[in-house]
Structure 1
């Protein structure tokens, strides 16, 4: 025996390294167990797909304030369904590898770092052999349920991404209503015409942002407050009345040279307040769209296609600036849906 081993080239492995005899798995010798394992793995993938659908249903249907055993019902449901789905998919893949894929000992020789053409060909052959041994092509039940669970895994992503914010459509309505005061968006104090100097710009919003109910709680708060504030944000500027050239029907939209415009750029919705008081131009910092506020907010430069929506102003009995109505134009960036929404707004007016 030693003489025979002495004649083995140095590049060959030891012919008998002392490994025990190969033990076949039950699924290798018993067709019934093979089928049972296949059904079990497919069942795991199918249940994972159902759990992912349950994740989406729970996210949509369960109220965020609802509790379960003292915990947040939504968090519990989302964690249980998504975690269970990922667990079942992982266990299913592991069981597939352990019970159904090819099971035999392999010996791999060390070789130079640079692969030869023969090695590359062998690699492709091994890859194809692995695919064949996995039974991926021969086991349609596993293949289909795996694809089903992987496809369902995209559903939570779509749901979560959709909830990151409102769809990018123009906003047909904001919180502005007839008689609502214009207030400073830092202090929440109402604004009088005498508070503004010629050339001054003030960031403002509707007074309802700071109103409270009879119990002292804010009328709007939390996420709703942030969303409505982003839609209703405005800028108030004061110019010399003789510098303003209002369009027909807008002659009374200002108060002693004070005009109010939406703060949302009509290009992609960036907040704008870069004010050039000498030229009466408002510049968007994102893509340099420029609007002439002395000429009805019309675009004079940049990629924006629509003028800034203007809010008509008046003065109440106490001398504070108020809105005459909501915006008569759709507030927001110029998405394709804008034309449809603007038409509906025009039809109402």
Structure 2
């Protein structure tokens, strides 16, 4: 049996005030809140954050690149939820998106893991946590594994040779199962 903790009204009040202050400061810092990519953002490779990606730098059929958006004021969006998988589909890809530049969230729709692998030959994204596979040529459709929804994509445009985000995600990125294992 776990004993109940008895505390004075003063201790309870002090603890409540402390918790409220902590919650307010975490909210003020945007602690844990997604910093979604937004129209007008440019893209930078995660491993070269000072570089702005040009449309001609992304080769058709090459594996995807992990990128992060850069706000118009030059600041990087550093939230995990802002990371994107960027690729140019092979001209031989099926469908109307063949040869196009595409960007998808890097967050798996199953348990919220980072989709960090690529299956060459099949040209699918792979989440290493639970094996979900996504087809970028079919708008991020699930082609294997437990993922309940496609990877959300975000529209891009070319502005004077620079890749720029042109809209918002097709759906809210993130895990949908609540599983964290």
Compute the TM-score of the two structures, normalised by the length of structure 2.
0.78
Specify the structure having the higher radius of gyration (Cα).
1
Q: Name which of 172, 181, 186 aligns with 2:42.
A: 181
Alignment of 1:233-312 (within 5 A): 233-246=83-96, 256-312=99-155
Confirm or deny that 1:334 pairs with 2:164: no
Question: Does the aligned pair in 2 maintain the 1:264–1:333 contact within 8 Å?
Answer: yes
From the two aligned structures, give the one with the greater helix fraction. 1
Instruction: Give the equivalent residue in structure 2 for 1:191.
Output: 53
Give 1:209 deviation, angstroms.
9.4
- The reply to whether residue 323 of structure 1 matches residue 165 of structure 2 is yes
Superposition deviation, residue 257 in structure 1: 2.6
| RMSD (Å), alpha carbons | 2.8
Residue ranges of structure 1 left out of the alignment (5+ in a row): 1-43, 65-163, 212-218, 337-349
Q: Does 1:231 align with 2:93?
A: no
1:240-294 CA distances to partner (integer Å, 9 max, x unpaired)? 1330425xxxx5xx8x432110000000100012012321111100000111111
TM-score w.r.t. structure 1 length? Answer: 0.43
| Structure 2 unaligned blocks of 5 or more | 26-30
CA contact (8 A) 1:272 1:285 kept: yes
Aligned pairs, number? 166
Taking CA–CA contacts closer than 8 Å with sequence separation of 6 or more, which of the two structures ends up with the larger relative contact order?
2
The 5-angstrom pairing of residues 1-349 of structure 1 reads 45-47=6-8, 50-61=10-21, 165=32, 174-188=35-49, 189-197=51-59, 198-208=61-71, 211=74, 226=78, 229-246=79-96, 256-317=99-160, 319-335=161-177
> C-alpha offsets along residues 287-342 of structure 1, whole Å, 9 cap, x if unaligned?
0011111111111111111000011111012x011111121311111158xxxxxx
Q: Alignment partner of 2:81: what SS?
A: helix
